[in-house]
Each structure stands twice: as C-alpha cells, then as structure tokens.
Chain A
Amino acid sequence: MLDTNAKILVVDDFSTMRRIVKNALKSLNYNNVEEAEDGASGLEKLRTDHFDLVVCDWNMPGMTGIELLRAVRADPSLKHLPFLMVTAEAKRENIVEAIQAGVSNYIVKPFTPQTFGEKLHAMFGEKAA
C-alpha cells in the first residue's frame, strides 16, 4: 500500500501533463509531489532525494522515459522503485519494451482520473476506491 505521505516524482516535458497527473494524484490524497521536465533531471532528483514512486512520460527530448527506467533499474539504490509509465505510445512493442525494462505499470494517454487511480492502486495491490 502506498502511504498518502509518499513522495512522488512526475517526469514529463509538457507542464500540462504534469499538472493533470498532479491533479489526479491530489484527488487520491497524494500531495507530496515533485516535478522534472525530462529523464536526465528526473534521474538527478532520484539520486539526490528519496522518492516512493515515479510517474513518467516516455517520449521526451534528451533522456526518454524508457532510458530513465533502464537507468533506475540499473542503479542498486533505485532498482526497486515503483515506476509508472504514462504515455501516448500505445503500440504493443512499446508496452513489451517497457515491461522488459522493468516498468511497474503502464497507462496509455488519453486517460481519466479514474483509470489513473485504478492503475496506481493495482501497482500496490490495492482495490480502487
């Protein structure tokens, strides 16, 4: 179960999607949220601070979401970090690639706050409210 005090990092190059994800998290009572604009700055935050969950876009300039995921899984201090991919890439091969890289769950845009909550709860073995 993810505690409502959990610290969550939202990584997306579009501020709109960061706000939508933050609003969805807020509706689930998760208010301890930080943001990063790409994979590289996200990885830096993860290596310098403690987080309980990453919510990450795939298609970003510079370090992409899948590259961040691989870096996280390759880092002994981060490799068990829950990692939720939120992306417009709905291709089967993308989903398979993310699973092979160790993603915890995967949401395809567009999504409703309800879908977001269900995916998040599923990651932590909870029933959606």
Chain B
Amino acid sequence: MQPTAQAPGQTEAAKSQFPAMRADFINPFITSTVRVIATMAAIQPLPGRPRIKTDSRTYADVTGIIGLLGEGVEGTMAISFAESCILRVVSNMLGEEITDLNNEIEDAVGELTNMISGAARAELETKSYSFRMAIPSVITRRGHSIAVITRFPIVQIPFETDFGPFYVEACLHQVPKA
C-alpha cells in the first residue's frame, strides 16, 4: 500500500513521532490477517483501504485486543468481528457449527488475535523492530464500542468476507529505546 495522509486534527507531536501509516508498518498486519484467517478457517478475507480513524470508536460484536511492546516501539492491535463473520470463522476452525457468541467464540478470538499479532510481529522483526510476547484480552457484547485512549493515530484496516466484515486496528508509535 502507499503511505496515507495524516487525519485532520492530529497534533504536530503525533505527526512527527508516528510513522505508523507507512506501508512497512501496516502491510504486516494485512498479510498476517489474511494468512491466519485463510489458513485456519478456509475463508479468504478481502482487505480494504487502510485509513486513520477520525472517530475514536469501532462498533462490533466480538473484539480481541493485544499489546505490542517492543524495543523502541509500542502500541496495541485489535481485531473486531461482526457476529455473522466470527460465527462462520470459528465454525470452520473447529469443524463444527457454532451458533452463539459463547465462550468458544471468546477463546477462538483470543487465539486468532494471538496468531495474527504473532505473525505481524515476526514480519516487523525483519524491519529491525523487536517485540515481546503478550496475552490477548477479548470483549464480547453485541454492538459494543472500542475506544483506544491515545494521542497517536489509530490505523483501521477493513476486511470483507462472504459472511460479514471485520476490522483490524493498530496503533504503533516509537518510544525511546531502553
């Protein structure tokens, strides 16, 4: 993807410190998401155009969140699914029909978050960014909203499937190395 313009209203400090809309930061999240969903659920997601969120909230039915803590860079990654989409993804992963947003869905979204962030981190490693492992959290409630409290821009990547949409959001920023 090509670099995208900063959203209006961002501070000069954020602009100067945050390179996250560079393709080398965003593409690992796109490729790892497509690879994980395609491999584990046999569903080919179609990525849309990444954008910087100008509103602070995402509405979804299930969301997995994981911290991205590394040497010189830190942030978060979230993946938010519509109910129809995640029910099909998890049903395909487990080889049995799941019809409710139950504990199995929460567990599976945690594992998907883990896998996608792990694959993205591995790709970012090749660009000299090193991250530590983290444990994901999952929120399940129909129509919940996710608001990441940060002064740095959040990149949202929409994905379409035959079973509904999902979104990956990443907020990465550089920090002084220890």
Contact = CB atoms under 8 A, between A and B. Distances in A.
Contacts of B121: 90-91
A109 B115 contact: yes
A15 B122 contact: no
A110 B115 contact: yes
Contacts of A100: none
A110 B39 contact: yes
A77 interface: no
A110 B36 contact: yes
Interface SS of chain B: helix, strand, loop or mixed? Answer: helix
B110 A89 contact: no
Contacts of A88: 114-115, 117-119
Interface of B: 35-36, 39-40, 90, 93-95, 104, 107-108, 110-111, 114-115, 117-119, 121-122, 125, 133, 135
27 contacts: A14-B114, A15-B107, A16-B90, A16-B94, A16-B108, A16-B110, A19-B94, A20-B40, A23-B94, A59-B118, A59-B133, A59-B135, A61-B135, A87-B118, A88-B114, A88-B115, A88-B118, A89-B118, A91-B121, A91-B125, A92-B125, A109-B114, A109-B118, A109-B119, A110-B35, A110-B40, A110-B119
Interface of A: 14-17, 19-20, 23, 58-59, 61, 87-92, 108-112
